[in-house]
Copies of this chain bind each other. A is one copy, B any other.
């Protein structure tokens, strides 16, 4: 079984965290062919924290887990904190393939997304 764990920073604002959880649910609906399990986790400030998110995927039967950082910049969280946490998890679950995907801001599709957003009316 394959799992995808969307990892965001986490906020003191419940609404921000709920947005990430909702996004993970949308993602689950859109990629159910590729991933049996899709969940959200947070680096800090909100449950579920990353190690618990990984643990839940393993408990649910995942044999491979892709961790996807929902971050725009390659700051300390992306280049140090999240890799360190994931490396600890890799040691803890040697029979599970755990892979860290590039953070969102590194995507080659970002330019297309920005151009599309610029052309969209703001409905907020």
Chain A residues in the interface with B (C-beta under 8 A) = 4, 6, 8, 11, 13, 15-16, 19-20, 23, 26-27, 30-31, 34-35, 66, 68, 70, 72-76, 78-79, 99-124
B111 touches A27 (CB 8 A): yes
B6 touches A114 (CB 8 A): yes
Query: A122 is contacted by which of B11, B19, B70, B100 (Cβ under 8 Å)?
Result: B100
Asked if A102 meets B115 with Cβ closer than 8 Å, knowing A75-B16, A110-B23, the reply is no
A72 touches B74 (CB 8 A): no
Alpha-carbon distance between A106 and B8 when the two chains are bound, in angstroms: 15
Give chain B residues whose Cβ lies under 8 Å from the Cβ of A111.
23, 26-27, 30
